[in-house]
Amino acid sequence: MGLLNRKPKGPDDDRPSITDRMRLAQEMQAQALAMQSQFAQQAQAMQAQARQQAAAFRQATQASSAQVGSMTWARQVLAILAPPQPGYVKRCTCAVCGAPKKLLTVTAYVYCD
């Protein structure tokens, strides 16, 4: 007995031995390495699938769109950049009364006719 009625310090029977702890640590390390390799394989599979999808998308867009520098490509670009034709009214309705819009809008806001 020591001071203040404490038990003398000695090996605890509840704690696992050092060899048991080392074996457990090695098992956990092996599991971690196995999981890491599994995640790496999954990542590689996902990358390959993404590359295939990107290649398929590129082929689909190249087949359907106009080639850069052709006349149809130039028309598409000019159609995007050009302002709307005079007299063009976007079909919409008034948010308050529901009446159809008929006159040109001068600003970006839609006013009831």
**101, 89 contact by CB (below 8 A):** yes
Confidence (pTM): 0.39
Residue 42 has pLDDT above 90, yes or no: yes
Whole-angstrom CA distances from 98 to 12, 55, 85, 105, 107 are: 84, 47, 25, 17, 20
Task: Give backbone dihedrals phi and psi of 93, rounded to 5 degrees, phi first.
Answer: -125, 160
Q: Where are the domains of the chain?
A: 18-81, 84-113
Label residue 18 by pLDDT band (50, 70, 90): confident
- Residue 11, number of CB atoms within 10 A of its CB: 7
Sign, CA torsion 43/48/52/57: positive
